[in-house]
């Protein structure tokens, strides 16, 4: 049993990499010094066991620990103590991820005396991209059942199962139709023949045709040594953990991020633990954007499937199934596209957020499909379906707008409005039945003329959105230097122009507009203000990729009191 420190950059298996010329083994603790990069190479043991089963970290990474995409051997890093990263931990790269034929596993919380959360994966680093894990998801990550299947069946047919194999675990969702599903379930594949999936044992639930089936396996796996004793993954990291691709978290106790630069997670699978897929606190920075694409959280207890702090979060093709709390619990400014919640406490829920936009989303067999209130500004629905939700589909404290909304239960008196040609940006002045708390919820396309301020909107019809920078009574949006923001979908190579009407009521307040995302970085530009509504146009640039661009409109007080009025925001 020894404390072994890196002596130079090199391979894990090389004696010259380590002080004393000794390659670490079980019972040893490992420190990788800041100036060194250690590569887990093909000649290293297939299962690397290190750690002294003590409070000293099994592996402490101040430099860089990495596993390359060129590896031809699967590796497991089994830790008898904490994994502590203050430097960099890299598995594959964005350009060269770990191939589908390879697998890298991190086994946490190994001990002669097992107990839950005894040892953890701790990342505490100020390094940009301190953790970069790039694996490969199954070729087909999601498919659908083609025909009704009864409980007790040992096989079913799907639309596509390319890349699926024996021993993979899959999650089957809920679908209500002429043949209603009983509930969601997880089951293991015994074999695959074309599009037919044969399972280990038999199905416990009925499943209706078109029920979704999701493969839970990824080729970078983080799990406890014994899944009965869950381990925490904690990253109190100012700028770390920004890109996780095709990573599987199995039976982890928590994933607890604090992050300023946001996240970009793709193909993440989290299951059978107590961990939410979270954006973290973002240190209260409302300019941060986090993105989740093709992520799933299945069977989580004591937590929600997805959760967010401050800043803006975009979730695309994400699924929450069988969570004892909300499927999606958001703190500020979420945009959901093609996301689904199945058998969760509630599908979507929040108590304090700026705006919520759901497009092509579904809530099946939850409590409430959508429930929100308190400081929530509002919610916009586009092609939303709620079905089988025991309490109801929508339970708002505020107004809801949308179109093509299919609610199987009562809409709870929600005002469903809108049309097929515009999304709407709306303002409300109600909070718990009390007028005066004016907030803006933004979706896309146009600011609707329905703010209940007394100011007349552009063209003399309806009302407009008002920024009141001099008054800081309600600091959520209207404090000095603040305003509102929204996101717009853009296409690569298609230039974006934003048009709006602006006006000041008195004094000399100022206003600015800025935009960024999808390759656009439009620095703050002044919005010229006058005593009459005047249209202003801004060429934001040409996106370099498909994605979302965030727009921020802010107001700041001058030497005298005055408000800034914004109306009729359009994109061309």
Please provide the DSSP assignment of 76-106 as one string: EEEESS-EEESSEEEES-SSSPPPTT--EEE
3-class DSSP state for residue 38?
A: strand
Q: Which two tokens stand for residue 499?
A: 């048009």
Lowest mean pLDDT among 112-126, 161-175, 211-225, 468-482: 468-482
Does position 437 have pLDDT exceeding 60, yes or no? no
Instruction: Please indicate, yes or no, whether residues 317 and 252 belong to a single structural domain of this protein.
Output: no
pLDDT digits 0-9 by tens, 322-358 = 999 999 987 666 788 899 999 999 998 875 555 677 8
Is it the case that residue 101 has pLDDT exceeding 50? yes
Look at residues 68, 23, 72, 75 and name the one whose alpha carbon lies nearest to residue 50: 23
Please indicate, yes or no, whether residues 131 and 257 belong to a single structural domain of this protein: yes
Are residues 467 and 381 part of one domain? Answer: no
pLDDT in tens, 36-80: 999 999 999 999 999 999 999 999 999 999 999 999 999 999 999
pLDDT interval class at 234 (50, 70, 90): low
The residue with tokens 């039945």 is 433
Arithmetic mean of pLDDT, 215-220? 96
* CA 448 – CA 463 distance, rounded (Å): 8
DSSP result, 5-25: EB-SSEETT-GGGBGGG----
- Domain-located, residue 298: yes
What CATH number should be reported for the domain holding residue 472? 2.60.120
What is the model's pLDDT at position 243?
66
C-alpha to C-alpha distance for 259 and 242, rounded to whole angstroms: 8
The number of distinct structural domains making up the chain is 4
Residue 540, in any domain of the structure: yes
Angle at 85 between CA 81 and CA 91, to 5 degrees: 100
pLDDT tens digit string along 354-381? 567 787 888 899 988 887 654 444 566 6
pTM here is 0.73
Mean pLDDT of 128-154: 91
Same-domain status, 345 and 493: no
What is the predicted pLDDT for the residue at 296?
Answer: 95
**Alpha carbon 391 to its chain's center:** 26
Calpha distance 440→554 (Å, rounded): 13
Structural domain ending residue among the three candidates 362, 386, 421 = 421
User: Which is higher by pLDDT, 216 or 561?
Assistant: 216
Distance between terminal CA atoms of the chain? 67
What does the alpha-carbon distance between residue 530 and residue 543 come to, in Å, rounded to a whole number?
31
- Rounded average pLDDT over 124-132: 72
Q: Which range is least confidently modeled, 342-346, 430-434, 446-450?
A: 430-434
For residue 441, what pLDDT band results from cuts at 50, 70 and 90?
very low
Assess if residue 523 is contained within a domain: yes
3-state secondary structure (DSSP) of residue 284: helix
pLDDT bucket at 152, cuts 50 / 70 / 90: very high
For the sheet containing 212-215, what is the strand order? 142-144, 212-215, 169-172, 185-193, 196-199, 155-157
Residues 208 and 291 in one domain: no
- Residues 19, 97 within the same domain: yes
Torsion (CA) 519, 135, 109, 318 in degrees, nearest 10: 60
Using CA atoms, how far residue 299 sits from 189, 227, 271, 320, 390, in Å, is 18, 14, 6, 9, 19
pLDDT of residue 568: 72
Residues 364 and 340: beta-carbon distance below 8 Å: yes
Whether 427 is covered by a domain: the verdict is no
SS3 content of the chain, % helix, strand, coil (to 5): 0, 45, 55
pLDDT band at 178 (very low <50, low <70, confident <90, very high): low
Same domain, residue pair 227 and 317: no
Domain containing 282 equals 276-421
* CA proximity to 72, closest of 45, 101, 30: 101
Q: Dihedral, CA atoms, 72, 73, 74, 75, nearest 10 degrees?
A: -120
Q: Is residue 431, in this structure, part of any structural domain at all?
A: no
Q: Do the Cβ atoms of 105 and 79 come closer than 8 Å? A: no
User: Do residues 224 and 203 both lie within one domain?
Assistant: no
Sheet containing strand 319-323, strands side by side = 47-50, 75-79, 104-108, 220-224, 247-250, 269-271, 296-300, 319-323, 340-342, 362-364, 385-387, 406-407
How far CA 375 is from CA of 102, 335, 355, in Å, comes to: 47, 17, 10
What's the CA angle centered on 323, arms 319 and 324, to 5 degrees? 160
459 — phi, psi (to 5°)?
85, -5
Q: Where among 364, 386, 421 does a domain terminate?
A: 421
**pLDDT value at position 418?**
35
Within a domain: 508: yes
Which of 370, 394, 421 is where one domain is finished? 421
- Write down the pLDDT at residue 131: 83
pLDDT at 426 over 60: no
Q: What is the mean pLDDT of residues 289-314?
A: 82
d(CA 370, CA 381): 10
Sign of CA dihedral 456, 376, 259, 341: negative
> Percent of the chain having pLDDT more than 90?
45
Check residue 406 and give its pLDDT: 45
Query: What is the average pLDDT across 524-540?
Result: 91
Per-residue pLDDT at 500: 85
Q: Is the domain of 298 the same as that of 391?
A: yes
Residues 402 and 297 in one domain: yes
Rounded to 5 degrees, what are φ and ψ at 404? Answer: 55, 50
Domain check: are 309 and 298 in the same one?
yes
Give the containing element (helix H, strand E) for 169: strand 169-172
Structure tokens at 3: 């404390």
* CB of 251 closer than 8 Å to CB of 299: no
CA distance 483 to 356: 17
Domain-located, residue 428: no
pLDDT band at 303 (very low <50, low <70, confident <90, very high): confident
In a shared domain, residues 518 and 564: yes
For CA atoms 282, 285, 288, 291, give the dihedral sign.
positive
Give the Cα separation of 454 and 208 in Å (integer): 52
> Using 50, 70 and 90 to split pLDDT, how confident is the model at 470?
low
Q: Phi/psi at 43 (nearest 5 deg)?
A: -85, -10
Distance CA 356, CA 569 (A): 18
Percent of residues, the chain, with pLDDT higher than 70: 71
Is residue 521 a part of any domain in this protein?
yes
Ordered strands of the 29-32 beta sheet: 3-5, 29-32, 59-61, 83-85, 121-123, 231-236, 252-258
């Amino acid at each position: 049993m020894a404390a072994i420190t890196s002596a130079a950059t090199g391979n894990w298996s090389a004696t010259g990499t380590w002080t004393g010329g000794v390659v670490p083994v079980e019972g040893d603790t490992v420190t990788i010094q800041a100036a060194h990069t250690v590569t887990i190479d093909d000649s290293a043991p297939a299962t690397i066991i290190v750690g002294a089963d003590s409070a000293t970290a099994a592996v402490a990474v101040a430099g860089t620990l990495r596993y390359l995409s060129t590896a031809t051997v699967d590796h497991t890093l089994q830790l008898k103590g904490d994994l502590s990263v203050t430097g960099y931990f890299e598995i594959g790269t964005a350009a060269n991820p770990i191939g589908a034929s390879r697998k890298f596993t991190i086994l946490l919380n190994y001990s002669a005396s097992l107990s839950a959360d005894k040892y953890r994966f701790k990342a505490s680093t100020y390094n940009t991209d301190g953790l970069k894990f790039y694996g490969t998801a199954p070729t087909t990550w999601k498919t659908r059942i083609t025909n009704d299947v009864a409980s007790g069946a040992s096989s079913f047919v799907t639309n596509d199962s390319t890349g699926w194999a024996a021993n993979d675990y899959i999650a089957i969702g809920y679908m209500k139709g002429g043949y209603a599903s009983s509930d969601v379930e997880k089951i293991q594949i015994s074999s695959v023949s074309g599009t037919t999936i044969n399972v280990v044992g038999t199905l416990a639930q009925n499943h209706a045709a078109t029920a979704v089936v999701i493969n839970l396996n990824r080729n970078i796996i983080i799990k406890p040594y014994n899944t009965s004793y869950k381990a925490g993954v904690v990253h109190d990291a100012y700028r770390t953990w920004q890109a996780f691709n095709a990573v599987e978290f199995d039976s982890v106790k928590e994933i607890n991020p604090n992050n300023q630069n946001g996240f970009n997670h793709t193909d993440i699978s989290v299951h059978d633990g107590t961990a939410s897929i979270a954006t973290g606190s973002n240190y209260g920075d409302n300019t941060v954007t986090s993105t989740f694409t093709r992520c799933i959280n299945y069977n989580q207890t004591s937590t929600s499937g997805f959760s967010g702090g401050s800043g803006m979060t975009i979730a695309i093709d994400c699924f929450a199934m069988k969570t004892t709390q909300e499927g999606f619990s958001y703190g500020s400014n979420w945009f959901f596209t093609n996301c689904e919640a199945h058998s969760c406490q509630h599908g979507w829920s929040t108590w304090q957020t700026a705006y919520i936009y759901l497009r092509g989303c579904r809530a099946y067999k939850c409590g409430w499909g959508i429930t929100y209130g308190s400081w929530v500004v509002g919610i916009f629905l586009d092609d939303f379906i709620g079905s089988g939700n025991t309490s109801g589909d929508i339970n708002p404290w505020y107004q809801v707008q949308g179109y093509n909304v299919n609610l199987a239960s009562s809409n709870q008196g929600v005002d469903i409005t809108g049309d097929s040609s515009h999304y709407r940006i709306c303002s409300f002045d109600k909070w718990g039945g009390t007028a005066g708390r004016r907030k803006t919820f933004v979706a896309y396309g146009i600011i609707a003329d329905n703010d209940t301020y007394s100011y007349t909107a552009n063209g003399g019809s309806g009302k407009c959105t008002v920024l009141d920078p001099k008054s800081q009574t309600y600091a959520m949006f209207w404090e000095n230097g603040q305003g509102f923001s929204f996101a717009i979908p853009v296409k690569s190579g298609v230039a974006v122009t934003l048009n709006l009407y602006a006006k000041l009521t008195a004094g000399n307040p100022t206003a600015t507009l800025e935009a960024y995302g999808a390759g656009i970085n439009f620095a703050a530009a002044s919005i010229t203000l006058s005593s009459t509504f005047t249209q202003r146009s801004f060429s934001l640039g040409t996106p370099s990729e498909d994605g979302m661009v965030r727009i921020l409109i802010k107001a700041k007080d001058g030497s005298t009191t005055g408000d800034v009025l914004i109306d009729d925001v359009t994109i061309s």
